[in-house]
Chains A and B, each alone.
Chain A
Amino acid sequence: MSEPTGGETAPSPAPIVNDSTTTSGTPAQPETAAPPPAPPSKDAKTTEAAAGPTKLSAAELKKQKQAEKQARRAQAKSSGPPAPQKGPSNKEGAKSQKESKQSSKDDKSKSLPMRRRNSQPSVVTLKETKKESRKESKKDSRQPGLFFGHLYNQPRQHSIVGATKEVHPAILALGLQYSSYIVCGSTARMVAMLLAFKAVIDSYQTPVGTSLARHLTSHHLSPQIDYLRSCRPLSISMGNAIRWLKDIIIKIDPSTPEAEAKRDLISEIDDFIRDRVTAADKLIIDHAVKKIENGDVILTYASSSIVEKTLVHTHKAGIKFSVIVVDSKPLFEGKQLARKLAHHGIPVKYFLVTGATHAVKQANKVFLGAHAMMSNGRLYSRVGTAIISMLAHAQSLPVIVLCESVKFTERVALDSIVGNEVAPSEEVLSEGERQELLPLKPHLPAGLLTKLGESTDKAGVEKANSSGEVLKWIEASDNLQMLQVLYDVTPAEYINMVITEYGSLPPSSVPVVHRLSMDKQETRK
């Protein structure tokens, strides 16, 4: 099923998805994909033995069939609007989720060997489980996160335990990759999602009595999307892609035979990836390469696959330049970028964001990737990008954003607070940092200590010297909290140029191009 792309035009999934093969997944800002083995496509297939009906393992096949049967039955029974059917199943899911949380702590840790990447190793999963459940119970009493309170809706899903039965194995795998930042970066996430959807569509069978156009979106695709969302909030590009996909599904003529419709859909997805990502990237790189001259010092922040490709491409074109990568905790995405660029023989300097001032002084051009471009011309990107662009702007360095038009959105944003994605706060402190804090224990304020004493009593046998200890201190102290979000919004005035597949534009032209690309989509169909 998903092989079609492989042959023609060196296109879509392969290059994008593979581009970070060098190291075990860490990744990246707006883009950069995945873990060593091309994640979504192959992973989905191999690890989960998923997808294509031909390749399914017996057990999974059964499971899947069951799921489908159940869905069909449920639908047949309710035969009403989708809502009632969806409700119960969701609740069921939630219940099972809760149950499993109580009962199967070990399960969880087992099911999730590589929950988070190495750069930020986390505490034993067991502890986290506990924490999560405790957090839930505490939620009302303790308003989390100052400004970002409105964003703490639900604890992030880090396992497949609570997933509803409809969720396709390929999606389950992808969800885990999302929540552990193995697939990271908005383009990579979108492409991975579309590839997984291909598997989903391929294994889909329209239940009797409905048409594919009616049933697929609301009953089969939305649980998948819900699951992905519970793993990590959808990126803007993903939102755009989902909207597009729903659109073409609805437009399928009900009279088309199911097999044909599915084939059409799959090839549409391939086309979409090819047009909006692969080809677009090529065009953007062609534009961007012209902006780099001999002797330039290019500064970039965190990691963007399109920036990386541009730099590598320029290097291969024989232009001599050097790169400064500025990075920040806790994801350290720039480390991978720096590693890859250095591997290609480009001179690379590496700074953390605290040294940004010094880094910007040495640079003469700034290239940034994007998570999204807002319609008011602002750039929504990895948190810290705004600092870099501000400093660069103050030094009158050109700030150039590389962004496919699929990441444009009609949404607007004024600051980084109203719309953002919060990340689990325990990621702020890495294992090593917690370790360093351990000797402080005897100096903790008395109130906190007594409280801790209670909680450890409650928790029972807890090793005092584990690094998870520190997290408990922080949690137990009412007034201390860690705060972490993933994105920030860069004002349009700091951005000199946005390079898209349509050409180079000022940030003010973003809404125009967005509309243009939407129109094009419409007319193409």
Chain B
Amino acid sequence: MSQGTVIVAPGLSSFLKSLKTTPVEPSVEHFISLLKRRQIRNSRPCAIATTALLLRVVGEFKGRDAAKLVKRIREVGRQLTSAQPREVVVGNIVRRVLGLVREVVDENIDGETNATSDPGHPAPAQHDSLHRPLLTSSISQYSPLKHAAAEPMDASFQSEATSDSGDISKRPPLLASHTSYAASAGTGLTQSLFGIFSQPETPSASNTPTGQQSPIGKGMLTSLNLERLTDFSKSNTNFDLKAEVMDGIRELQDELEQSDDLIAANALDHIHSNEIILTHTASTSVQKFLLAAARKRKFTVVHAETFPHDHTATHGILLTGKKRENSTVDEADWKPLIAAGIEVYVIPDSHVYAIMSRVNKVILATHTVLANGGLVAAAGAHMIAKAAKNHQVPVVVVSGVYKLSPVYPFDLDELIEYGDASSVVPYEDGDFVDKVDVEAPLFDYVPADLVDLYITNLGGHAPSFLYRIVADHYRPEDITL
């Protein structure tokens, strides 16, 4: 690895720099050690690093066997997630890339078998509509919502779906591959939502590669995929699997880059003049969201500082717009809220309940969003959400789709990471530390019923709808890495 030459403290930027010059294996090792040492932490840096690494992995992959590529990515993914299972985002990105490979494969198979498959064929359509909800339910089998959203809107969306097919390039590919069987349940709704929210944005509002598919080439989304993968690798050799997957990963990178801006584009729909907004911790997504609203409206922000882990970053982001003095590479310069003329009041976390009666809206940053609509966020988020609920204040969660995880929280404690206790009580206080058990959880789990709205780069969603977006972004085969 190239740390010898780089004198920066190890972190995301040094990793990205070294990635260019280092071969894949050492890079994987490097990333794993960074994850383990928590030198890369939090969702966005992890996501950026993972995509960059996987791009290299795919780039260095020799051979044309898709199954082997899947196996390879999976292997890397397993290593990464076991290095730091609580950075769920790493797993998310790996799954997205796996889905990408399958996508590319499917398209090409369909391209070949197109002649034989009838687009309007009823049987696959039915198969599809039955099958999809089943798949999602395997993600969240305890979700009470699974039956509610699965069946109803069948034919009603058909017309819309077909009319949509014009701007197919703006649609996420999984859906696109549905369009020929437009009757399939739920697709219509997703499409219309995607349509609404992605229209004004740049084309990359859709998040996985779209360029390659022909509007006619359609595929079935079944678990036959794996068999097909192997079949395919034998039969088909005249397309560039690697290049297409790499293109897809680059688009994923674009998505990561743009997700904050896409989220921020919704801001004016949710923030009105003279509102009092409560938020917590230091989150670029939230800050950009508020900034976008600040361009047109005047409001007041109350910021809980999230002591003891994030308070420095919180004050930093409020004063300067950056979390740390060495801001990461991807963060372009943007001014803090105070410079945009927004009044910001910093309160200690204990004041949340006292202030809540005057707050109009709570905006939470998140670490991971789970398939059941709950979220894992910085410690203190639960009490904020709960206090908001008790005061009937709407709770809005701002999150990129890449934070949306197919994991269902069976064991909540598994998701919670505990931080450095010395930030609560310094180790100098030996007497205290010896006798008293100091705990410093980094995260809180906020159940879905405390959240009123999710705003992602795809638009606004009810918490109960998230499982559907999960189904759109991850292949069921990849749920367990």
Contacts and interface: CB of A to CB of B under 8 A. Distances in A.
Interface of A: 145-147, 325, 328-330, 335, 338-339, 342-343, 347-359, 382-384, 386-387, 390-391, 394, 415-417, 420, 428-429, 433, 436-437, 439-440, 442-445, 447-448, 473-474, 477-485, 487-489
Given A342-B436, A350-B425, 6 more contacts: A329-B348, A330-B348, A342-B435, A394-B386, A429-B315, A483-B347
Given A330-B348, A489-B354, A445 B321 contact: yes
Select the residue from A145, A147, A330, A394 with max chain B CB neighbours within 10 A: A147
B351 A357 contact: no
Nearest to A362: B439
B419 to A, nearest CB: 9
Contacts of A440: 316, 319-320, 322, 325
A350 B306 contact: no
Given A479-B338, A480-B344, A354 B306 contact: yes
Interface residues of B, number: 62
B243 interface: no
A214 B457 CA distance: 74
A232 to B, nearest CB: 18
Nearest to B421: A350
A485 B351 contact: yes
Contact of A339 (B351, B355, B432): B432
A417 B345 contact: no
Interface stretch (B133-141, B155-163, B207-215, B375-383): B375-383
Contacts, number: 197
B375 to A, nearest CB: 13
Given A146-B343, A355-B441, A480-B338, A444 B351 contact: no
A437 B315 contact: yes
Nearest to B340: A479
16 contacts: A146-B343, A329-B348, A335-B432, A339-B431, A355-B441, A383-B348, A390-B387, A417-B354, A428-B348, A433-B315, A444-B320, A479-B342, A482-B346, A484-B347, A488-B350, A488-B351
Interface in B293-337: 300, 302, 305-309, 311-312, 315-316, 318-322, 325, 327, 335-337
Given A146-B300, A481-B346, A485-B351, A445 B336 contact: yes
A202 to B, nearest CB: 40
B316 A335 contact: no
Interface of B: 276, 300, 302, 305-309, 311-312, 315-316, 318-322, 325, 327, 335-339, 341-355, 357-358, 378-380, 382-383, 386-387, 390, 416, 424-425, 431-432, 435-441, 444
B386 A444 contact: no
A433 B354 contact: no
What 4 A-B pairs are tightest by C-beta distance, nearest first? A384-B350, A416-B354, A342-B435, A354-B380
A416 B391 CA distance: 13
A443 B319 CA distance: 8
Contacts of A354: 306-309, 349, 378-380, 383, 441, 444
Residue among B335, B345, B387 with the most chain A CB within 10 A?
B345
Given A343-B435, A437-B312, A443 B354 contact: no
